[in-house]
Structures are given as structure tokens and as C-alpha cells.
Amino acid sequence: MTEASKNPPWRDAIEQSIEKNKELKYSKYVQLVPLSRSVFIWWLHHQGSSKRWNKEKATVRPDGRPANRTVVSRGFVDGTDQLQFTADSRSEKMGDVAHQPWGEICWYFEDTWEQFRLLGLVGVIGCDEEDFRKQEARLKAWQAASPKSLRQFVDPPPGRPRAPKEEFEGDPPNQEEGPVETFCLVTLEPKEVDYYSLKEKRRKLYKLGEEGEWSEEEVNP
């Protein structure tokens, strides 16, 4: 896990938006897509090979189509600039991410009419993760979750034909015993951030350079 040296400029901006919109409970929901059009454009620009393009194109979903889902933002992994989310190891997003690691989050703040699109590398920290610090982050997320929300991780597998009602009943797993196998921490390490303010008619692009420095540029909205 890469340590955050100092806050990148987009992080201050997003934290201000979180603060300004904290009264709205919807502000914690974000849309996560494993691969966006901008990655294709970025990738094409950097590689310029139609052969590789075809190869990369096959890595959205295994069948080549994009996938989009709502997830709850769980803040940042301690000591890093990686956003974190929780997810079930049995859900389809795991296969999508394993297929290719790029993903984009779209985060809309309703009160201030602001949108952040964060493009970066998606990682999954599952039960077989060997990195101690990553396991620690997974455990922390498990402990921070509401006990009731943990029940879904022992429910019948998501996306499969409907199981009998009784299989969804019963107590949630014991939080004190640590994460169940299916509980994963999903991280996104931003490489580009696109900020857009509809109210102020402003747009700003933040990009991570090769030396690890963030640049920022005001562009037309």
C-alpha cells in the first residue's frame, strides 16, 4: 500500500465537498465502474496499437460490456489516498476487477451540485491477502460496519437464482470473531480526478505525473 506523503489537491477539494454535504445521507453513495471510456482513450493514446486495443477491450467484463454499481464510500484507507468500499467476494465486480484493474468512481454531491470522477487502480483485499497492513485495513472496515449490514456476507450468494426466504434469516456473523471469508475491502487508488461544479460552471482536472506529483488545470466545464 503506497503511503500518502501529503494530501493531493483533489483530496482537499473532495473532503470540503463531503463536509458541505454531510447532512445528506446520499452523499456517501458513489457509482463504481470497472472501466470507463476515458481509460480507453487514455490507453489508446499511450499504446496506439489496435492489436493491444482489442486485447484491452476484452477486459471490461469478461464479455466486453461495462458494468456500473452503487457502493457506499467508507472513506480512505488509513495513511493513504486510496478510497475504500466493502463488497462480497462472490459478487460479479470481483471477476470484473480481476480481469482488469482500472476503475472509475462517479461521486455526486447534491447540495453543492458537484461531481468528482476518480479514475484509478482498483484493488481487492480478501481473506487470503498476505500483506499484514492490508489485512489490518480489512479488519478495521469489518469492525466499523454496522452489525446488521454484515448479515449479507453470510446470505446466499448474490446474483444466483433466488434462495428460500429462510436462508436469509438468522443472526449476522459475530463481529468480534473477525471478517467472514466473503468480506472484502475494495480500494481505488486515484490517478486522475475530474472535478465539475454545475453551480459555479467550473471544471478542474487533476493528474498524477510520472514522478508522483499531482498537476491541476482549470478547463472549460
When binding is defined by CB under 6 A, the residue of 1, 44, 67, 154 that contacts ligand FMN is 67
11 Ramachandran zone, left/alpha/beta (phi>0; psi -120 to 50) = alpha
Task: Tell me the C-alpha to C-alpha distance, in Å, between residue 213 and each of 10, 68, 158, 199, 216.
Answer: 12, 30, 40, 29, 10
Pairing of strands 202-208, 214-219: antiparallel
Instruction: Work out whether 91 is an interface residue with ligand FMN (CB under 6 A).
Output: yes
- Whether 68 contacts 29, CB under 8 Å: no
Q: Is residue 204 near ligand FMN by the rule CB under 6 A?
A: no
Report if residue 86 touches ligand FMN, rule: CB under 6 A.
Answer: yes
What distances in angstroms separate CA 54 from CA 12, 119, 194, one per listed residue? 38, 21, 26
Work out whether 117 is an interface residue with ligand FMN (CB under 6 A): no
85 contributes a contact to ligand FMN by CB under 6 A = yes
| Least distance CB 184 / ligand FMN (angstroms) | 8
Site mask, ligand FMN, residues 122-161, x = CB under 6 A?
Answer: ------------------------------------xx--
Contacts with ligand FMN by CB under 6 A lie at 29, 67, 69-72, 85-88, 91-93, 158-159
